[in-house]
């Protein structure tokens, strides 16, 4: 076993600095006016896609259960957040815009999470294609219900007529706040995946019967993962609602869900790193291809096909970015000075970090 030159706690610190630098960059392009409204919009969409894709990857890649209903949860979160925001205003509640944004977005996540648990308990008894179909059906149910709900712009469930869009939602989504929500989401998912929970979930993916025979409570963990995914999908929906300002029921449709599944598969199932890269890449790609006008979706499709032909496991497979490993690979033979030495971590911390790191780290796929 290679000794890491960078303890896991030091690498957390470096990653934190990296995120801070990224945020500084974001602030720089926004404040100096280098980023147009269009570019800001793309960054916002990227953030939403990252939240959706990483949380979906927890279910599809880490737990190994194919679900096609993620946008159903996103829509629940979006409509909940939108309606709650309107309700607060209608009741004359005075509060800070950012606080209101956070509150209703979080509430949207919680409501989506509740639905995730309700759907997950019966649905997760099924596997593979059956689960995919059930979740697909669930997404459609959500779409049809929203279409008809009076409160969401429909004409009432009994009317059975096409509903209108829900408009006039306060556009409170602030790019900086959304950026940090995205960071927190990725960090939470990462911490979950690299703990005993993540290990147990991966064990269920690899062999459910053996996982049960190793003392893992399968039903409990499956529903937990499903609920976590639904929660973050709801958060993404809440952000979306308050960024766009108008919602249509079609956002709950399966076509949207497939889009996120593509991102997960594209980046690599089980790799959060891959999900982030794929979410950003596949959000930006169609925008970059706008010059090709009507051919752009053709190019997009060809890129997808090529990736799937030459890298069926996705860009990253199940490889996960790990700073200590990267440092090892770059510096191990030459034994350069530990870049994190000036950090706060003590030697005993470093030992702990190493042990935990080797306990947690997956073998990098060649």
Residues that bind another protein (CB under 8 A): 1, 12, 188, 191-192, 195-197, 199-200, 202-203, 205-207, 209-218, 270, 318, 351-353, 355-356, 358-360, 362-363
Contact 70, 229 (CB under 8 A): yes
| Closer to another protein by Cβ: residue 288 or 351 | 351
Q: How far apart are CA 60 and CA 69, in angstroms?
A: 11
Report the sign of the C-alpha dihedral through residues 291, 293, 298, 301, in that order: positive
Residue 231 CA, distance from chain mean position: 10
Considering the complex, what minimum distance in angstroms separates the CB of residue 61 from another protein?
11
Considering the complex, what minimum distance in angstroms separates the CB of residue 58 from another protein?
13
| Closer to another protein by Cβ: residue 34 or 366 | 366
* Structure tokens that stand for 307 in this block: 């990736």
Residue length of the chain:
366
Considering the complex, what minimum distance in angstroms separates the CB of residue 8 from another protein?
9
Contact 273, 319 (CB under 8 A): yes
Give the residue ranges of DSSP H helices in the chain: 8-31, 37-57, 70-90, 97-123, 128-148, 175-193, 196-206, 208-213, 218-244, 254-267, 272-288, 296-310, 323-331, 347-360
Considering the complex, what minimum distance in angstroms separates the CB of residue 203 from another protein?
4
| Closer to another protein by Cβ: residue 12 or 23 | 12
| Closer to another protein by Cβ: residue 29 or 187 | 187
HSE-up (13 A, CA, CB side) for residue 197:
15
Contact 120, 223 (CB under 8 A): yes
Considering the complex, what minimum distance in angstroms separates the CB of residue 335 from another protein?
21
Considering the complex, what minimum distance in angstroms separates the CB of residue 206 from another protein?
4
Considering the complex, what minimum distance in angstroms separates the CB of residue 365 from another protein?
9
Q: How far apart are CA 261 and CA 277, in angstroms?
A: 14
| Closer to another protein by Cβ: residue 185 or 248 | 185
Contact 26, 43 (CB under 8 A): yes
Considering the complex, what minimum distance in angstroms separates the CB of residue 221 from another protein?
10
Place of tokens 């409509």: 79
Nearest to 188 by CA among 15, 51, 61: 51
Phi then psi dihedrals of residue 166, to 5 deg: -90, 115
Considering the complex, what minimum distance in angstroms separates the CB of residue 296 from another protein?
36
Report the sign of the C-alpha dihedral through residues 151, 153, 155, 160, in that order: negative
Place of tokens 């509903």: 163
Local structure of 166: helix, strand or coil:
strand
| Closer to another protein by Cβ: residue 199 or 296 | 199
| Closer to another protein by Cβ: residue 146 or 181 | 181
| Closer to another protein by Cβ: residue 135 or 185 | 185
Considering the complex, what minimum distance in angstroms separates the CB of residue 341 from another protein?
20
Nearest to 138 by CA among 70, 235, 82, 78: 70
| Closer to another protein by Cβ: residue 114 or 203 | 203
| Closer to another protein by Cβ: residue 221 or 251 | 221
Residue 266 CA, distance from chain mean position: 14
């Amino acid at each position: 076993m290679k000794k890491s030159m960078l303890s896991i706690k030091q690498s957390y610190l470096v990653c934190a600095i990296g995120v801070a630098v990224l945020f500084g960059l974001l602030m720089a392009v926004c404040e100096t006016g280098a980023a147009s409204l269009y570019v800001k919009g793309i960054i916002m969409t990227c953030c939403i896609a990252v939240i959706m894709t990483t949380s979906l990857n927890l279910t599809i890649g880490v737990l190994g259960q194919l679900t096609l209903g993620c946008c159903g949860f996103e829509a629940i979160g979006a409509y909940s957040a939108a309606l709650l925001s309107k309700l607060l205003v209608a009741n004359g509640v005075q509060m800070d815009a950012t606080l209101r944004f956070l509150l209703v977005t979080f509430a949207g996540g919680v409501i989506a999470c509740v639905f995730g648990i309700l759907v997950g308990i019966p649905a997760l008894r099924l596997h593979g294609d059956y689960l995919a179909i059930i979740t697909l059906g669930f997404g459609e149910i959500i779409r049809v219900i929203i279409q008809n709900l009076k409160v969401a712009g429909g004409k009432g469930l009994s009317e059975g007529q096409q509903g209108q869009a829900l408009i006039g939602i306060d556009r409170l989504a602030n790019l900086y706040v959304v950026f940090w929500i995205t960071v927190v989401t990725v960090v939470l998912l990462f911490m979950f995946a690299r703990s005993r929970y993540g290990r147990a979930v991966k064990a269920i993916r690899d062999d459910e019967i053996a996982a049960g025979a190793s003392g893992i409570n399968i039903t409990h963990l499956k529903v937990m993962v499903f609920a976590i995914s639904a929660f973050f999908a709801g958060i993404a929906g809440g952000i979306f609602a308050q960024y766009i300002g108008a919602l249509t029921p079609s956002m709950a449709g399966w076509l949207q869900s497939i889009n996120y599944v593509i991102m997960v598969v594209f980046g690599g199932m089980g790799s959060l790193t891959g999900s982030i890269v794929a979410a950003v890449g596949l959000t930006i790609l169609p925008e970059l291809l706008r010059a090709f006008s009507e051919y752009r979706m053709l190019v997009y499709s060809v890129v997808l096909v090529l990736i799937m032909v030459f890298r069926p496991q996705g860009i990253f497979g199940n490889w996960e970015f790990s700073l200590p490993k990267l440092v090892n690979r770059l510096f191990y033979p030459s034994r350069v000075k530990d870049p994190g030495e000036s950090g706060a971590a003590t030697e005993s911390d470093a030992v702990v970090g190493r042990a935990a790191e080797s306990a947690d780290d997956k073998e990098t796929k060649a």
